[in-house]
Amino acid sequence: FICVNDSFQTVNGRIYKSGKEYRPNRSIGPECEKAREAANARERQRMNCINAGFDCLRKTLPKRGSARKLSKAETLREAISYIKKLHGVLIEERDKQEKIEEEEERTKGTSSRSVCLE
């Protein structure tokens, strides 16, 4: 037997709301309440830690023109972009250094040959 009333639905005597079984608020015992409070405190601490990490990451990124605080998603996108940019700079510098070392090797080789000609 199915009965639908706005957002509630009854199936075989059980009441469902938005696809989940609906259970009216029941008074919970003190043990359950303490466990719930402890779980909530742990979750708050976890979220505070994550938010502190995002704040630290925001401060590490180069300053932008906007005074608005970046959202978490924007912070991650900006961090990825910045890391890619820094990686590109490192690659360029490495390539420059390799060219310098190759040139030094070539000039070193030619100067040692001239000494050996005596």
DSSP for 67-111 reads -SPPPHHHHHHHHHHHHHHHHHHHHHHHHHHHHHHHHHHHHHHHH
User: Is residue 7 in some structural domain?
Assistant: no
Classify 22 as helix, strand or coil: coil
Distance CA 81, CA 12 (A): 55
User: Is residue 33 in some structural domain?
Assistant: no
User: Is residue 35 in some structural domain?
Assistant: no
User: Is residue 24 in some structural domain?
Assistant: no
User: Is residue 88 in some structural domain?
Assistant: yes
User: Is residue 57 in some structural domain?
Assistant: no
Q: Judging by beta carbons within 10 Å of its beta carbon (0-12, 13-18, 19+), is residue 58 exposed, middle or buried?
A: middle
| Span 51-89, pLDDT tens digits | 999 999 999 999 888 889 999 999 999 999 999 999 999
User: Is residue 22 in some structural domain?
Assistant: no
Say how far residue 30 (Cα) sits from the centre of its chain.
38
Q: Is the pLDDT of residue 5 over 50?
A: no
Give the total number of structural domains in the chain: 1
Domain of residue 112 covers 71-118
User: Is residue 118 in some structural domain?
Assistant: yes
Contact assessment for residue 51 and residue 44, using Cβ atoms and an 8 Å cutoff:
no
| Span 6-52, pLDDT tens digits | 555 566 666 666 655 555 566 667 788 889 899 999 999 999 999 99
Res 79: pLDDT: 97
Distance CA 11, CA 21 (A): 10
